[in-house]
Amino acid sequence: MKKIELFKENGFKDKGFSPLFAHESPYMKVVNFNFEPGQELPVHSHDIEGELVIAVLEGRGEFLSKDGAMPAETGDILVSPIATPHGLRATTRMRVLVTIAPPI
Report pLDDT for 14.
78
State the Cα–Cα distance between residues 43 and 87, nearest whole angstrom. 4
Task: Express each pLDDT in 41-52 by its tens digit.
Answer: 999 999 999 999
- Fold held by 36-104: Jelly Rolls (2.60.120)
From residue 93, alpha-carbon distances to 48, 49, 89 in Å are: 31, 31, 10
Q: Judge whether residue 5 has pLDDT over 80.
A: yes
pTM of the shown model: 0.91
Q: Judge whether residue 71 has pLDDT over 90.
A: yes
Q: Which of 52, 43, 41 is nearest to 82 (CA)?
A: 52
